[in-house]
Amino acid sequence: MSKIKPAKGAPYARILGVGGYRPTRVVPNEVILETIDSSDEWIRSRSGIQTRHWANDEETVAAMSIEASGKAIADAGITAEQVGAVIVSTVTHFKQTPAVATEIADKLGTNRAAAFDISAGCAGFGYGLTLAKGMIVEGSAEYVLVIGVERLSDLTDLEDRATAFLFGDGAGAVVVGPSNEPAIGPTIWGSEGDKSETIKQTVPWTDYREGEVERFPAITQEGQAVFRWAVFEMAKVAQQALDAAGIAASDLDVFIPHQANERIIDSMVKTLKLPESVTVARDVRTTGNTSAASIPLAMERLLATGEAKSGDTALVIGFGAGLVYAASVVTLP
């Protein structure tokens, strides 16, 4: 018989607060058109994107995360010292080690919180949320800070007509803490590594370091393949998340998908047969695709504008490079 004592965590976990940070520079499509042969009408019709935010030198991954996290901590009504773990999802922290989460945890003033980075692309927020939920229920932390942050402008090839207009920068954060009732449903997550070539970095860092290529690595993707996968396969995953939570589409108040492309969002809404009463996040129009940051940024904006309210039931789903995905039903803070 095991001598290990059982965990003494909370019965359930919930999102208690949310915060976001968008860089000060707003970049309209006209700027993108300086380096690709396209048009504003084409970009809007293919993606829904009108503007995006690009970070300046001071708006680092850490700096943006700290701004968003401070808002989330205040929104949750706790102090930074109460945060027991910091999880950062990003693919644009260019130091292999140490994790940027450790710098963030220190500068926020946490009391030596556990801190680590994860790399799960556009599904990273969902991965982090699932890990945080487990920590709360297991009892290894009372409050967990989950951050999605990207400076994708650093990995954008401005001459690539297929991707130059897609990406933006920003940070979104949530505080996850204890709950007496279910408020984060089961996660439906997974990967399809056989499709890893559809979204990828152009070349490894070593090729650039060794002079085998002169061009700095960037993100590239097979647009049509990604679109088909997201529309058909991710709608199935979203439905599985609804089923796992015991929620029907008609029970939803809000739908917050990864802000990859408005056409993908529209197709998912149609496939899931969401009623018109469901508020759908369309932050992609003015923020672009911010990968791991897109769901918390969209969540923060919906709550700030009053389009969604505290206590609403929301379906969230992230999907992207890997290919990886994660979906769950949550109660909004």
- 115-135: per-residue pLDDT in tens? 999 999 999 999 999 999 999
Q: Which two tokens stand for residue 26?
A: 């707003």
- Residues sharing a CB contact under 8 Å with residue 210, sequence separation 6 or more, in sequence order: none
The model's pLDDT over 56-69, given as tens digits with 9 standing for 90+, comes to 999 999 999 999 99
Supply the DSSP symbol for 16: E
Q: Is the pLDDT of residue 2 over 90?
A: no
The C-alpha atoms of residue 203 and residue 257 are separated, in whole angstroms, by 29
Of 184, 198, 156, 135, the residue nearest 324 (C-alpha): 198
Of 191, 72, 91, 64, the residue nearest 132 (C-alpha): 72
For the CA atoms of the chain, what is the radius of gyration? 19
- Catalytic residue numbers read 122, 258, 289
Of 223, 282, 224, the residue nearest 258 (C-alpha): 282
Of 132, 184, 187, 110, the residue nearest 9 (C-alpha): 132
Average pLDDT, the chain: 96
Q: What is the pLDDT, as a whole number, of residue 213?
A: 85
Q: Is the separation of the CB atoms in 265 and 282 below 8 Å?
A: yes
Q: What is the pLDDT, as a whole number, of residue 262?
A: 97
Q: What is the pLDDT, as a whole number, of residue 8?
A: 83
